[in-house]
Amino acid sequence: MWTIAGLLLGTMIFVSSYGMISRYVYKNELGQAMSTMSLLKSSVEGVCQGGVKNEEIKSLVFPAVVSKVFILGNDNIEESGDRLCMKIENEARKCYTLPFCTYEMPTITLGEEARAYHLMDKILGRRKMTRMVFSISKPSPGEVMILWNQTYTDNH
């Protein structure tokens, strides 16, 4: 009987600890995602405000909670418009309005591999991240092109 009670108590402690750690890791990754989007937004706006042929190369890292990064127009069509958006797993999309220019960017879809030990990797500090290199240019007045290349996905 004491063995069963010990097992039940151990299971309850494990489950509650797992939930707390999971929430902690998620909040940290969410904060990093917001910071990365802020840096991208700042770079894109800077190129827009510069002269024609203005260009910037920016390398940014997106955590695993980010599933999609895209430009959205007023007609809700992706890849062209005035809003820079990010879709985070289990949340509504977050969009930032970009003034003064029309922006074009192919949609970035970041998929998380389905792995049984994904959370255990996070707990051990091996978080799945995707490094993207952005080429932001202004080919003509009022138009900004954002091209990207996924350089690699790694664990940190």
| Tens of pLDDT, residues 83-136 | 999 998 888 899 999 999 999 999 999 865 544 445 555 556 556 778 899 999
Q: Residue 130 has what DSSP assignment?
A: E
**25 has pLDDT over 70:** yes
**20 has pLDDT over 80:** no
55-63 β-sheet, strand order: 55-63, 128-140, 143-155, 102-104, 80-81
Instruction: Give the residue with greater pLDDT, 2 vs 67.
Output: 67
Complete DSSP assignment for 77-129:
-BTEESEEEEEETTS--EEEE--SSEEE-PPEE-PPP--TTHHHHHHTT--EE
Query: Residue 38 to residues 44, 75, 82, 152: CA-CA distances in angstroms?
Result: 10, 24, 15, 21
Give the model confidence (pLDDT) of 38-90 as tens digits: 999 999 999 999 989 999 999 999 988 888 999 999 888 999 999 999 998 88
Single-letter amino acid code for the residue at 89: E
Which pLDDT score, from 0 to 100, does residue 142 have? 92
Which pLDDT score, from 0 to 100, does residue 85 have? 95
State the number of CA atoms in the 13 A half-sphere of 33 facing the CB: 27
Which pLDDT score, from 0 to 100, does residue 150 have? 86
Which pLDDT score, from 0 to 100, does residue 117 have? 47
Which pLDDT score, from 0 to 100, does residue 110 have? 82
Which pLDDT score, from 0 to 100, does residue 55 have? 94
**Tokens 């003064």 belong to which residue?**
100
Which pLDDT score, from 0 to 100, does residue 156 have? 52
- The pair of structure tokens assigned to 128 is 């799945």
Predicted TM-score (pTM) of the model is 0.78
**144 has pLDDT over 70:** yes
Helix, strand or coil, per DSSP, at residue 68: strand
Which pLDDT score, from 0 to 100, does residue 115 have? 43
